[in-house]
Each structure stands twice: as structure tokens, then as C-alpha cells.
Amino acid sequence: MRRILDYAGMFPPAKLALADALENFQEYQHHEHAGYLSRFVIPVGQVPDLPCSTPFPLTVLVKPAEINASLQELKADSIEVPWDEHSLNLLYNSFPGKIFIELDWRKPYEAQMAILSKNAPRFGVKLRTGGVTPESIPPSKAIAEFLLSAAQHKLPLKATAGLHVPVPNDDPEMGARMHGFLNFFCAGFLAYRGRGDREAITNVLEDFSYEDFSFGEHSMRCGSFEFSKQEIEQLRSRWLLSFGSCSFLEPIEHLKNHGLI
């Protein structure tokens, strides 16, 4: 779980003002599970509103029209940009850090990943795993295909949206079933280790619940699959980097309530 959660408090459904989101982020630095906290997510247009000496890592959302030489001065760990083939070269030369390209799960992305893989690991991929409407939630098969393709092309990745709960869950307000972050990461472990086909990975994404996960001192179990601590550290540090959430506390509360931490 080290640095797994990018805090996106400014985005739906929380939609906090920058000052409130910053105050939360600074408070979370002292939480007992502060080690889970990674970057602060912010749109590039609001970066100038940050305090002059921001002492924590940022990941900055950039639209294709906002790509320019000024990104070279951006003090951020990473940027996240929607796919736009015409701006890739400019993007590569405009920002020196890690660049996550958000791909649309509704469209084929094999060719896009092949292009991005030529500049991996500078370029990674980002998948939107949820949203505020049922139509924004990708089916498990689409996520499985995304994970398998990213693994094949050796691209680091992050996810965002809809992963507040560790396992799949029904959201009564939205009237839809949401994905779980434990399922997403374990499915990714299978894909990057070459230990599961689309059917097996889809099964992990859809059907595994709390009783299918357990954590020991030297390994974790995901159904009948087991991953050593060393494997997990390698997979997390190189490939399955983080997920964005507008809540830092909710994922942790669910893990605590089910005895997983």
C-alpha cells in the first residue's frame, strides 16, 4: 500500500476548494497510515494558486491544449493527459517527469499502447475505472484487456475514479456496481506476472470479495493465487503505481472494518 493513493479531493464527488483539499492533504501527512498517501492531484490551471513552498509531490492534470514549454518549469512528479497523438512529441519535450496518458476504455487502445511503449517508462497509461454516472464505469472485461495490454507493452499505469472501496460494491446513490481497488491491483499483478488470461483476470475483478484476500508477513493471497512481498514491491514500484481517489480516509476505513489492516 506504500504511496498507493493519489489524493484528488478537488474532484467529484468531493469537489473541495483548493484550500480545503490542501488542508486535508497536510493533515493526512500525520495519519497513522500516511505511508499510503502519494501525490496531490491538481489541474494545471490552479498550480499558480498553490503556496510558494509546497512540500509534497504533485500530479498535475493537463489538457492537450495546455501543453507548452512552460511545463518544463512545473515542479511535479507527474502529469496526466488525455490521449492526443498529435501532441505526444511536444508533450515528451515539454515535461521532464513521468507522463500518464489517459486512454478511453470505450475505444481500442492496443495501437495507442504500442506507440507509448516506445518511450516507456517515461510514458505510462491511466485508466478511468469509474465516475459519477453508471455509464462511466467500464466493464470488467475492458479493465482486464487494459491490464493485459499494458503488461504486454511494459507500460506503468495508474487508475482513477470509483475505487473508494477495496472490493466490488453496489452504490445505491448511483444505482451501479463499482470496482474494488484490491481487485484491480491483484488483477494487475496477474497480468504483469503472466499468470492469468482475460477470463481469470475478469473473474478476479468481478467476483472476489473480502474473504478472497488475506495478508501475511511475507505474502498476500488473492483467491488461489499468492504473491510474495518481494513480488508485490517490484510490481508496485515499477508497474502498478497508484490510484486516484477524492477520499483518503474511506479506503482505509473499509480495510480496517474488514480486518485487513
Cell numbers for 106 = 470505450
- Which letter does DSSP use for residue 97 in this model? S
- Per-residue pLDDT tens over the stretch 27-76: 999 999 999 999 999 999 999 999 887 778 999 999 999 999 999 999 99
Chain centroid to Cα 70, Å, comes to 26
Which structural domains are found in the chain, ordered by start?
5-254 (3.20.20)
- pLDDT tens for each residue of 144-190: 999 999 999 999 999 999 999 999 999 998 899 999 999 999 999 99
Please list, in sequence order, all residues whose beta carbon lies within 8 angstroms of the beta carbon of residue 235, skipping any fewer than 6 positions away.
Answer: 188, 189, 192, 193, 227
Comparing 51-65, 195-209, 211-225, the range with the smallest average pLDDT is 51-65
**Which cell numbers hold the place of 44?**
494545471
Evaluated on CA atoms 76, 81, 87, 92, the torsion sign reads positive
Helix (H) or strand (E) holding 248: none
- To 5 degrees, how large is the angle CA 234–CA 235–CA 237? 65
pLDDT at 54: 74
Provide the grid cell at 151: 503488461
The string over 44-60, giving b where at least 16 C-beta atoms fall within 10 Å of a residue's C-beta and e elsewhere, is: beebeeeeeebeeebbb
